[in-house]
Amino acid sequence: MNRCLAVAFAFAMALPATTALAQQGDILLVDRAAASQSLDGPKRGALMNQVQAQFGEPSQKMEPRGGQQPQWPAITRWVYPNFVVYFENNHVVDVVAQKASPGEIGPKPTK
């Protein structure tokens, strides 16, 4: 009986720490999403050649992913220093900030 109580107590003590980490992650994502909305980047619907003319050559152009079926259009990512642009076929569908603020500590961008 004491062993069960010890396990239950240990689990109960670990739960708040796990919840705090999840809440911290949520705040980071919310901050980054808010920063993306006020970002001075390409507008939704812009064409690839318009984005390149306005913002220059991206530091990285990712290969298209998807497109195996008509309901799964090809998605391409272009990486700029402050944001990543997502294209569906040839049109901008989203722009995401690299960081919500200069002091943000978060995961490193994927390559």
Cβ atoms 86, 36 nearer than 8 A = no
68-100 per-position pLDDT tens digit: 988 889 999 999 988 899 999 899 999 988 876
d(CA 29, CA 103): 14
22-41 per-position pLDDT tens digit: 455 555 556 666 655 667 88
Closest CA to 110 of 56, 65, 73, 72: 65
d(CA 74, CA 81): 23
d(CA 86, CA 72): 14
d(CA 66, CA 102): 32
